[in-house]
Structure 1
Amino acid sequence: MNEDDVCSDTDEICVSSIFLEGEDINMSISHAADSIGLKEIPRYEVKIIEEDDWMKGAQESFHPVEVTEGLWVVPKWITPPDIQAMNIILNPGLAFGTGDHPTTKLCLLLLHDCIKGGEHILDYGTGTGILAIAALKFGAAFAVGVDIDSQAIASASENATLNNIEPDKLQLHLIASQTSSSCRDDWPSRVVEGENAFEIDRVTHKDKYDVVIANILLNPLLNLADQIIFSAKPGAIIGLSGILSEQVQNILQKYSLFLEGIEVSKMDDWACVSGRKRKNIDIC
């Protein structure tokens, strides 16, 4: 989405989207317009982009990121600027989480500060696996990453290998949904495919994790609140991000009954809410 550079009219917002070849673009845009109550389909133009050019452009936009002193996120095709630093090597593919977005940075900083060694971590919406991988590099003993996107799981698995994460240290679960499907035989040994949308119940055992991190979006954070709290040990650290600063109040209203010592960190217009699970609550 672009409000400044592409559109000369400041009252307009330009949206760019990638479609599969042969897809009915007019129908897709019509559905999108209907979903937000537009009476007319917005004007649009279609450009054919070669896949190699798109991938090259994506790679050129991904540069090494210094999250904090001594902690870098580095594309796999670039030599780390500081070979003595803790370098998280990534090939993002089509998944979210390159270390450049403020919410990813906020979550990395939270994990950097709270992990002391030996923790069990749950990463909701793992994307590229960057947070689970970082947690293990910081000293966590074991991590589980879950996502509904098969491309994210594939990316996270590759990135775990790039960072020499042993399969018994990181387990990745594809949580099946109406739009996610895959072939079980294609997955590496660290990946466990969900059988249905309720598979998450078998991944998030009650009171299992010392740290639960969820860098997703506002509505999933609200809808999954019981599940997120359920999986954390009493006293566990819970980090919630993927939200704008203006949405923090929604999170506080939902989670304040479950968390104590709540803190809010912000970067640009984005925020991360964290706290410890209260010891005297009962989630069924």
Structure 2
Amino acid sequence: MLSTVINTVTFSDQESHCHQESALSYLGAKDGDWEKIKETIEKSADRPIFVYFHLIGGHDPFELPEDELIFGKEVKDIYDALLFKADREFGNILERIKELGLYEDSIIIFSSDHGVGLDKQRGLASYSRTYNANLQIPFLIKLPGVSTSEVSNIYSLIDVRPSLEELLGIKHDEILHGISFVSELKSKQRYKDRCIFGIATFQEFFSMQCSTGVKIIYQRDYEFVDIFNSFNDPWELTSLVNEYNEENFEILARPFVKFMAYGKDTYALTPAGIR
């Protein structure tokens, strides 16, 4: 079920650069993969190592051998079994990292690219839309020397890079879309409210989720707009669009309009009405 590539990374005062060192098997954590990792560490003991594992997890096609259908044969049962399998394989990864003596000094991230709604929000097609079922994903990070904590703000995958760069002490002048979550993770305090944005280009769906709970969903082809409070209504089944008059909607949608017009520079904005 695992994956792709090991990159060894060196950092200098001038630049950061990566190069591919060795490819891992794609459909399983084989013993040979861990031998490659061990050899890479031994060959360059004084250099950081970056390893990327790709777990298929609950992605379609929802197929498993008969002996692995431990919850039943319905689609949701197979999905649960796939997640169960991914959980066990991730646990095995952690154990192997510990066996290599790397666990205490490692930054370890577990996440996903998107979700799936199954029988809610238009079924399997939800992975190509921007409802909560698609956009809300697990994100776990283990940091050396940081105790168990949970952030209260909303974050996006675009925040991973600035967060890792802060943790690794990497400095540059490049303008990034995201923001670092490290300060909040360490202090357990929310520093500012924000809006984040999602795109499902396959169906031309866009969304803006604000830390107030308010969310706008927009489908460009049909000029379809809907509004939810996704914190109080996580399955987004109760539309609030009729509660907004033109003036209030214009204020609410201002960051979203800016994102649609200048998206490459506005992935994280201060919500309208919040100062």
Q: Please give the TM-score of this superposition, normalised by the length of structure 2.
A: 0.28
Larger radius of gyration: 2
Report the structure, 1 or 2, having the larger strand content. 1
Q: Please give the TM-score of this superposition, normalised by the length of structure 1.
A: 0.28
